[in-house]
Amino acid sequence: MANVAVIGAQWGDEGKGKVVDWLASRAEIVVRFQGGHNAGHTLVVGDQTYKLSLLPSGVVRGKLGIIGNGVVLDPQALLDEIAKVTAQGLKVSPENLKIAENVPLILPLHPALDKAREAARGGDKIGTTGRGIGPAYEDKVGRRSIRLCDLAEPETLSKKLDELLLHHNSLLRGLGATPFEKQPLLDALLALAPQLLPYGEAVWERLDAARAEGKRVLFEGAQAVMLDVDHGTYPYVTSSNTVAGNAAAGAGVGPDSIGLVLGIAKAYATRVGSGPFPSELHDEIGRRLGERGHEFGTVTGRPRRCGWFDAAMVRQAVKIGGVNGLVLTKIDVLDGLPELKICTGYRLDGAVVKHLPAAMRAQSRCEPIFETMEGWSGSCKGARSYAQLPAQAVKYVRRIEELVEAPVMMLSTSPDRDDTIALRDPFAG
């Protein structure tokens, strides 16, 4: 049996939570390999709705969850999330949740710097969640991070805090924000240590053993390819690599362990925050998509910008992200629209281009080229086979496959976990 990696193929919020939950029921281990609590997955199980930001989705299904070293971990956010799902009836303990001992931690100074920088940008805000993700990744690369394993060594922790505060307090003062004192931070971390350290281990060893035993592993990505810090619409991106290739580095496995790569995409397009969005709609149809799709960020609560499906952008994500097949979600939101449009490319300074350029100003000048298709009067909602879909909906899916140059392996027809059309078992390789 093969392993599976799940990544977003647009700008995030594609409905990965439901897909990962469906796949988690077939996996034995679920690994988060990048991002932080700036990402969110919503899982609907019966009459319960679970909103996860850090916990791997597998814990909802009683599977082993792993938070890999590629994640930046806010200790208090994790403990709060564990308390929240525990109140909903889930059990989370060191028995079913493991955290890489070398995972970098988000401290209170990180969101403080994040917010101060956004405020200083004025009208040029990137649109971060203000949760300190970017500054925490900067510290990781700058070799200043406090990591989970440091909580077991108070002397090491104290010395590393000195270096961290020397850097951050200089920046905070320069931005007119309040600097931090060392002792309250040190005391808080030492108080958290007994709660967090039992979860820590060398997860790479556990994953290596799982591979030897032939266990099925699901690698769970956050955000999406077009928010990748290298390949996305920079600088309006997240602070980590969101492509499937990072699953190896972010979990501690070899690249041959990733297995099949599934890219998740909505049957239309959405985006939260700032940045280019060529196929965005500012009319009644855009509002209708937002209302019918309940388009609000899981973590931020911010309304998502809505637009037509951008096949040129998804094709780009497929190529960069190494996507073997797509999962198309929320096709039922398009029910009843008399006409649908698909963006097939862009006009840029008089030329036709088939991908979003890397340069920021060029991205903002891209004008969409649309192909129009007839909508359908029937309903996709709740369909569990292609035979139950309106014929025009099937044509729409087939056209997307042609344009993005990847097969649609699964189709989601409602938020319910079982309302899924699976054309192929991803774990079958």
* Cis peptide leading into residue 235 (ω within 30°): yes
Predicted local distance difference test score (pLDDT) of residue 44:
74
Per-domain residue ranges of the chain: 4-101+199-260, 109-196, 265-428
Predicted local distance difference test score (pLDDT) of residue 424:
84
HSE, side-chain direction, 13 A CA sphere, residue 96: 15
DSSP 274: S
1 versus 259: which is more confidently predicted? 259
Q: What is the pLDDT of residues 150-190, one digit of tens each?
A: 999 999 999 999 999 999 999 999 999 999 999 999 999 99
Question: Averaging pLDDT over each range in 3-17, 47-61, 307-321, which range is the top one?
Answer: 307-321
Burial of 162 (0-12, 13-18, 19+ CB in 10 A): exposed
What mean pLDDT do residues 290-297 have? 87
What mean pLDDT do residues 388-394 have? 96
What mean pLDDT do residues 334-342 have? 97
Predicted local distance difference test score (pLDDT) of residue 209:
96
Predicted local distance difference test score (pLDDT) of residue 24:
87
- CATH number corresponding to 4-101+199-260: 3.40.440.10
Question: b/e string for 138-154 if b means 16 or more Cβ within 10 A?
Answer: bbbeeebbbbbbbbeee
Residue 209's contacts (CB-CB under 8 Å, 6 or more residues apart) are: none
54 versus 42: which is more confidently predicted? 54
With a cut of 90, say whether residue 423 has pLDDT above it: no
Q: Chain-wide mean pLDDT for the chain?
A: 93
37 is known as an active-site residue: no
Catalytic member of 13, 74, 150, 228? 13
Give percent of the chain above pLDDT 90: 79
With a cut of 80, say whether residue 302 has pLDDT above it: no
Return the ∠ at Cα 32 (arms to 31 and 37), rounded to 5°: 150
pLDDT-based confidence at residue 134 (cuts at 50, 70, 90): very high
Among the residue ranges 89-98, 231-240, 327-336, 414-423, the one predicted with the least confidence is 414-423
418 is known as an active-site residue: no
Q: What is the pLDDT of residues 69-107, one digit of tens each?
A: 999 999 999 999 999 999 999 999 999 999 999 999 999
pLDDT-based confidence at residue 429 (cuts at 50, 70, 90): low
Among the residue ranges 201-210, 343-352, 409-418, the one predicted with the least confidence is 409-418
Catalytic member of 37, 41, 110, 231? 41
DSSP code per residue over 132-189: SHHHHHHHHHTT---BGGGGG-HHHHHHHHHHHHHHHHHHHHHTTPPP--HHHHHHHH
- CATH number corresponding to 265-428: 3.90.170.10
Fold of the domain spanning 109-196: Adenylosuccinate Synthetase, subunit A; domain 2 (1.10.300)
Per DSSP, the chain holds a count of helices (H) and strands (E) of 12, 18
Residue 422 phi/psi, 5-degree rounding, is -105, 115
* 7/100 Cα distance (integer angstroms): 21
With a cut of 80, say whether residue 330 has pLDDT above it: yes
Give percent of the chain above pLDDT 70: 98
